[in-house]
Structure 1
Amino acid sequence: MGAMKNCSAWLNCEALKKEVRKLKLVGEGAVKKVYLSEWKEMKVALSQLTLPALKEDFLHGLRMLQSLQSRHVVTLVGYCEDNYSILTEYHPLGSLKHLNATFNLPKYQNLNTWQNRFELAIDYVSIIRYLHNSPLGVLVMCDSNDLDKVLSQYLLTSDFHLVANDLDALPLVDKEKGVWVKCGPREIMGDFVAPEQLWPHGPGVEFHDDLMPPYDEKTDIWKIPAVTDYLLDHVEGSDIVRFHLFDIHAECKRQNPSMRPSAQTVLETYKRVLALLLKELAQSDSKESL
């Protein structure tokens, strides 16, 4: 983490109490409050449980953080189950919700290119691919009922990559054992979510969780085009990227979940498109220099 050269054991309750200093509140959700804090002159994020009733969600998020440590997930620094605290690496650029505001800052305006934005989309799909092929099995990103909610789950690093941050709602799919998922016991609505997440029995039948069919990880695939569209924004060259992604995005939006591609297939397509476009750009530049 940061400038650290050696691995360090996760901090325990005692170390969190003695070595970590809270600075200010920087975020608050249903499950936790997040404080910018300091540990050994490094900025860290201290998350603390907001409502005791949601402690199971909080602890599930901790278990996921422990099990999924990789380049795709925010670095866990320490935790204390006694007082429901989790310490992670701090990323000052914040969540993906603030991406456009970040690119509008004078120091980052020169980075606001279709190439960098497309690289972020590749990072996003890489994280989905990792969750669908995780050490724990096939995990579904359930905190994703609208675009804002999806964006809030990811942090933008200082070198403009993405890491998953909020892992409180990652249920497991195991088709061999007949285990499918439902993202919560309440009715999900809106154009953003996959069709199989919507109440199938019409407005004449009152919603009841027992009557709601479960689904699988292909709900994440349905949402990829909308997230990528946000990430690409309307910078010069982004429409060319969209044109090359049209076919794979049409496949992501198939009504039948089993007909949608895997995250691995989407990722391979994204990488192939990026390589093609960079090659075309290089050829174009060399012609102009002649």
Structure 2
Amino acid sequence: MKSKWRRSLLVCIFMYLSLLCIFRDHLLPENIFGTHKKLTISPEQNFKCIWSVVENREICKPVCNHGFFGLYGMAKCHPLLTCEDIEQLKFSEEIGHMGYVKEVWHSYWQKFPVVVKKLRTFDLAGEIAGPGYLQGINLMKNFYKPSVLLQLVGHCNDTIVTEVHRLLDARDLEIRFKEYPLYNTLQTRMQLCVSYVDILRTLHSGHHGKIYVQCDAKNLQKLAGQFLFTEDFRLVLSDVDSMETILVNGTNRKLIKCSDWGEVKGYFPAPEELWPYKGGYDASKLPLYDEKIEIWKIPDMCLYFLGDDGSTLKLKRSLNDIHNQCKNRNPRKRPTAEQVYETYLTIYQDIIKK
């Protein structure tokens, strides 16, 4: 009798441990909040997996080299779509005009949803924005950082096809958290701060001798609209039409000014972006500056992601020191995006531990 009981107990323990091994990745909070994993399904192909808050399950896509794309659900990478491929796409629904510069449509390539964007060349707005739009396409083609920029699926002249992000852009932050209240936590909100600065540190890294600076950022809502939510509540930069490039050669830098987008005012732009002289604004006389204009805006963006709930007060106090450094009126005394990222990451990891 005792022998049968022991055997039954051992069988139960074995079954419990087996089930725990199968489901443990889905039970861990780290996975629920978007831990990335690479699953090797074949020797030739790695996969990136996230926990989709939309589908409430793990979704995976292939990790692809430059010149290829991989969408969630695909088994392998595919070369970027050509003009011939794009001509065969059927537009299912117009999303709307992005700043009255682009036509934006939902479509499908094979069974996979994609977004098609085309420059509006039939009016003055599209004509004026044309050079920046084409420059943005070149950036998406050449600056291959899938975790930073919206993934390019294909391009043809002034038409681009991109990956879909169903949670849309960061202007709808509180709406998204109302839709998915389980994820409205300090951890997820701080994760967005980390993700935002992670993008900046990559753009500021001097990749191939270039530092990229977002010029279309006159106010917080305008800047938030440049970023899309991924389905594990991280960010990707979606609008790169208004990027300026700082050329780096050793210690030498070719500085920039975002004058083509008109005069900026208010508290949100960095002090060096504001018109410093008496008299009327003249873009040609505006002093030059560097990527530190984006460091100035980091505290505003992070506090926006953290929201106004009283539960964030302690976390905000822990950010005061680094945020005060970012708001130094002397751009040379502001930290780099890398330094802010390291501080944010330390605070984020402390939240997870607690």
Fold equivalence (TM over 0.5): yes
Residue of structure 1 aligned with 2:234, choices 161, 167, 172:
161
Deviations 1:256-281 (CA, angstroms, capped at 9, x unpaired): 001000000000000111222333x2
C-alpha RMSD of the superposition: 1.4
- Conservation of the 8 A alpha-carbon contact between 1:21 and 1:38: yes
Rate the CA distance shift 1:87–1:134 in 2: closer, same or farther, 3 A. farther
Aligned to 1:146: 219
C-alpha separation in 2, matches of 1:278 and 1:90: 29
What amino acid maps onto 2:315 in structure 1?
Answer: V
Distance 1:48 1:270 in 2: 37
Find the partner of 1:68 among 139, 143, 146. Answer: 143
Deviations 1:58-112 (A, max 9, x none): 111101111222211111000001xx1000001111001111101111xx11110
1:183 has 2:271 as partner: no
Q: Is the 8 A contact 1:125 1:266 kept in 2?
A: yes
Contact 1:113–1:236 (8 Å) recurs in 2: no
The residue aligned with 1:288 is none
- Once residues 164 and 347 of structure 2 are traced to their aligned partners in structure 1, the CA distance between those partners, rounded to angstroms, is 32
Residue 178 of structure 1 and its aligned partner are, at CA, apart by 4.5
Partner of 1:193: 269
Separation in structure 2 between the aligned mates of residue 131 and residue 182 of structure 1, nearest angstrom: 17
User: Deviation string for 1:3-22 (max 9, x for gaps)?
Assistant: 1121111111111001x211
Q: Which residue of 1 aligns with 2:55?
A: none
1:24 counterpart = 2:93: yes
Answer yes or no: is the 8 Å Cα contact 1:117–1:231 preserved in 2: yes
In structure 1, the residue matched to 2:27 is none
Amino acid at match of 1:73: L
TM-score of the superposition, structure 1-length normalised? 0.90
* Equivalence for 1:278: 352
Greater C-alpha Rg: 2
Q: Which amino acid aligns with 1:64?
A: L
Distance (whole Å) between structure 2 residues aligned to residue 95 and residue 184 of structure 1: 26
Structure 2 residue ranges without an equivalent (≥5): 1-70, 121-125
Match in the other structure for 1:287:
none
Counterpart position of 1:284: none
Say if 2:334 is the partner of 1:260: yes
SS at structure 2 position matched to 1:171? strand
The offset of 1:160, in angstroms, is 1.4
CA distance in 2, matches of 1:115, 1:178: 37
Secondary structure class of the residue paired with 1:140: strand
- Separation in 2, partners of 1:30, 1:258: 37
- 1:115: which partner in 2? 187
